[in-house]
Structure 1
Amino acid sequence: MAGDPSQKNADHPAATPAPPAAGGAGAALRAVDTTLPGETGQAPEGDPALVENTAQAVDAAVNQADRAERSDVGKSTGPAVAQQKRWPKLWFVVYLVAIAALAWTYPLIGSGYFNLPEEYAVPARRLATVLLVAALMRAAVTLGEVYLARSIHDAADRYDVLKVANLAAWLVIAFVALTQLFDRWYTAAASLGLVSLVLGLALQGPLSSFFAWIYILVRKPYRVGDRIQIEDMTGDVIQVSYLDTTLWEFGGPYLSTDHPSGRVIKLPNSSVLNKPVINYTWPLFPYRWDEVKFHVAYDSDLEFISGVMKQAVDEEIGHQMQERVGAYRRLLAQTPVDTLHVREHPAVLFRVSDNTWVEAIVRYLVHPREAGSVKTRLIRKLLAQLNAAPERVQFPRSNMR
């Protein structure tokens, strides 16, 4: 007889390390640790009271963590956050000082105040022009970052706008430098075009990634804060730069649960052009289907098990699931997809397992970042209620070691 396969279904979230800061992204990635001290990861057997007490303790811990997380929403705490807010303002002051100094120096150079020889005066004025334009552009970008970007409430959109503004500023600075530092700048531009052609052939990968970055901005296959999967890589997007995307990995080869692995993945932006992107947090419908399964004996009361599983999941997330399915149906109504099979309540299915047991499966809708904690609460609750009726629910048992 096989061992207790139902114990393998209890996904216990591991302690979640803090993710790295995403320079300007500001995406906080959190998970709740619902593993109790001394827990072995196995389902308790034979003592319904102990199971019930354990379930209540876990629920209390999760609810307390959820309340603490909600109370922190919108708050900026810690010296690191304050320092991030101070730095743009400090740079803005530096740029203003540079603009004032260059604006004061430029006419003095032209008037001969510094007694520079003519062969040095002209290059000095041109260099001052380039530096003045550079300071003006950087000050404008910093001003937008500190004040104007606050009108964009979505953090991901704000991140994209600042990326585009930075790129535009550097392009303007490069153009002004080209026109000021070269007498025949169009000849230099033609030469630069030939060089760019050669470099383009040699740097096809980086150029493809840059154009893929533009594609990401326009088509939005993912944004900062989304949970995505590209091939076998899954994680939360914490940065989208001009050439690559950075993921805070979830799952991975070392974990069997949907929790942070502690690893950071960098992949070229060009991946979105030739590989499928799975987005688990699509803004219009940021949910996915999940399931909890148990193995039961053939002589178990399947109707009783179905009723218990439906009721337990309904009590836990029934109201939220109805709202989410309603949103799902409204989206599908705009497509030719039939919506009759989309249920507003958890569905319980049974199928014969390969190891001579019956699999009891309950499916429900959940937010990807809540999948681990919700599954843990449901497993605790279901075990408590099913173990309370041993004469109607027969779980696999074995004394083999």
Structure 2
Amino acid sequence: MDELLRFYNNPVVARVAQLVIWVLIIVLAIGFLRKLLKRRIKDATIRYKAQKGVEVVGYIMIGLLVLISFTVKNIEDYTIIIGLFTAGITFTLQELILSIAGSFYIFMVRVYKPGDRIEINGIKGDVIDIDSIYTTLMEVGEWVGSDNYSGRIVKISNAFVFKGPIKNYSMDFPFVWDELNILVTYTSDIRLAQQVVLDTASQLLSEYTENSMAKWKEMVDRYYIENATLEPTLALDLTDNWVSLNLRYITDYKSRRNTKHRLFSQIEQAISATKGKVAFASATVQLLKIPEVDINLKNQKA
């Protein structure tokens, strides 16, 4: 008991206890200010930045407080306490510590930011919030196709930025390549079909092509990457049943479904305007005539 009393009367222990109390006060103050800003600020962008600013300032204050508390002359007096305390915290809260480190890494390196579309830990969605522990996504895909929202809000630990690849659809280059297959018959005018598809795609996607050129130039200047063709391109593929015109084009990462719909609609109208020179293909079945068999039956008398 005497040793326990001496332990609690140790000035180093008292200082550590004061540090824990001040850290709790700062954490509670951060939570209170975040709620206050949420009620007072109507603009979502300003409110988000203000809340993040409060968090950053609070964590800086905690870091400075820890630094000041442990910067003393007789550090040998509480080396064991600090070591045990740090080891215990690190072991029990390793995922939390890694998540907090991940949040600093996300903001400092700009791995992604609110508004980006990312895929992390096998989950794809738009980033709607990044706090000190979790990244919140509006999920895209799953049972819903064509990059549409599923309606689910997903929270992913920031620790995953250290555990696997992060696919960002919008950082630096907010465009993606997509493909569309147009199937025409062998009796069609293939040259005319190619011209119709390319002209329609070039006219419809001219805005995306023009806007992507400046962004791609920045990519080439910044990264070790080869130049790429941004204009729509076409490739032929001959199959047993039809000629496949594979159209490759660039579009905004959030407009894949709408772009494909508009392309299909306008290409269909353009092909219909050829008045039969180009015709869409469908699966065909060839029926072969069964050869006739002449069977003569003769009665044999015993």
- Is the alpha carbon distance of 1:335 and 1:234 closer, same or farther for their aligned partners in structure 2, counting shifts above 3 Å? closer
CA deviation string 1:317-341 (max 9, x = no partner):
21331231233034214444332xx
Q: Which amino acid aligns with 1:327?
A: K
C-alpha displacement at 1:244, in angstroms? Answer: 2.1
Alpha-carbon displacement from aligned partner over 1:217-264 (angstroms, at most 9, x marks no partner) = 111111111001125311101122222222111111x12211111122
1:390, CA displacement in angstroms?
5.1
Aligned counterparts of 1:141 and 1:300: Cα–Cα separation in 2: 69
Task: Determine which structure has more spread, i.e. the larger CA radius of gyration.
Answer: 2
1:329 pairs with 2:247: no
Instruction: Verify the 8 A CA contact 2:121 2:160 in the aligned structure 1.
Output: no
1:198–1:296: structure 2 CA closer, same or farther, 3 Å change rule?
Answer: same
Q: Which residue of 2 aligns with 1:374?
A: 259
Q: What does 1:117-266 correspond to in 2, within 5 Å?
A: 160-169=52-61, 191=81, 194-252=84-142, 254-266=143-155
Conserved in 1, the CA contact under 8 Å of 2:30 and 2:55?
Answer: no
Is contact 1:227-1:237 (8 Å) kept?
A: yes
- Residue matched to 1:268: 157
Q: Residue 325 of structure 1 contacts residue 343 of structure 1 at CA under 8 Å; is this kept in 2?
A: no
Q: Where does residue 243 of structure 2 map in the other structure?
A: 358
TM-score, length of structure 2 as denominator length: 0.69
Maintained 8 Å contact 1:134/1:173:
no
Residue of structure 1 in register with 2:11 after alignment? none
**Aligned residue-pair number:** 257
AA at the equivalent of 1:259: N
Q: Partners of 1:162 and 1:365 in 2: how far apart?
A: 40
TM-score by length of 1: 0.53
Which one is further off, 383-392 or 162-171?
162-171
Structure 2 residues without counterparts, runs of 5 or longer: 1-17, 71-75, 286-302
Query: 2:14 maps to what in 1?
Result: none
Q: What's the secondary structure of 1:270's corresponding residue?
A: helix
More strand by share: 2
SS state of the match for residue 337, structure 1?
Answer: coil
CA–CA distance in structure 2, aligned partners of residues 352 and 399 of structure 1 = 15
Cα offset, 1:371, TM superposition: 1.9
Are 1:225 and 1:237, in contact at CA under 8 Å, matched by a contact in 2? yes
Match of 1:347 among 220, 233, 237: 233
Structure 2 SS opposite 1:265? strand
Unaligned runs of 5+ in 1: 1-125, 180-185
CA distance in 2, matches of 1:289, 1:174: 50
Higher relative contact order (CA 8 A, sep 6+): 1
Could you say what secondary structure the match of 1:369 adopts?
coil
Contact 1:145 1:162 in 2 (8 A): no
With over 3 angstroms needed to count, the CA separation of the structure-2 counterparts of 1:392 and 1:239, relative to structure 1, is same
Residue 140 (structure 1) shift: 11
Residues in 1 aligned to 2:201 and 2:95: alpha-carbon distance in whole angstroms = 48
Q: Report the 3-state secondary structure (helix = DSSP H, G, I; strand = E; otherwise coil) of the residue aligned with 1:322.
A: helix
Residue matched to 1:287: 175
State the identity as a percent.
Answer: 21
